[in-house]
Structure 1
């Protein structure tokens, strides 16, 4: 049995989004239980120079939508740009669901056919990275996806939210 690039790309993203949603739902419940404002959780940072929890969600959802667009051949200048919005748990959960639906619509056949496609993307001021489609998914996209979802999970944990591995894993 062969696992396709699209199965890996889309399956891992769907699972990570389920886990991220679990974390946010439990954080919302904890805020309600303790009477803490949602901002106490959503504005939390692990370290002063890191972005907060809400940014982690906003960024990774836009990254997923842009990743799906890249893998279906959308030109860099035509990639979707999502506003960095969502200041409540409900708004962020809705954003994950909406971006997940957009991501899921990406054509599997096109993704699989673009494994050797050259992708050029900005990675800093006047810096670009060139990758083929397979390397983009396996060595750039997936590590970034898991980094930001894990960071949001860790932010919830440090705030006392009772989340565990099954929550993170989207189970």
Structure 2
């Protein structure tokens, strides 16, 4: 007997109309939130036969809860140098979701080099806001590349370009982000 949960007969479909007069914009906002996964409790969307396409990738508004005493931190990136991608990887009939974010930290400074050093092997959560204001969440993201440069010429951009990849879906998020202020330095 066949397992009905594995049948394409019950897969939901929905109309995906598009108005040609709608404005389509690219890019992401400069501010990005991040937190180590070990400091975050995540509630992913529940998907059933009646779940819409959008709901199937939308984390509930209370679905990103930092651990007690922890919270998201914010970094500001170089404008127009960042990109968010939702990819399919693998082989035909066995494709998998992958989320990828490319960011550029401004300036060749110790803080940026230290961020890369500290989090090069840390599974992280990034919340990136696109140009339309939609928050996107990359979960269990690992840094796969980071290149810091002073640049060769005065007019070129100095900074640290980094790439993070998650072997999971990209998620939408419409809830609030709890930011944690830096603790004052002790004398």
Q: What TM bracket, shorter-length normalisation?
A: under 0.3
Query: TM-score, normalization: structure 1?
Result: 0.24
Which has the higher Rg, Structure 1 or Structure 2? Answer: 2
- Higher-RCO chain (CA-CA 8 Å, sequence separation at least 6): 1
Structure showing the higher helix proportion among its residues: 1
Structure showing the higher strand proportion among its residues: 2
Query: TM-score, normalization: structure 2?
Result: 0.23
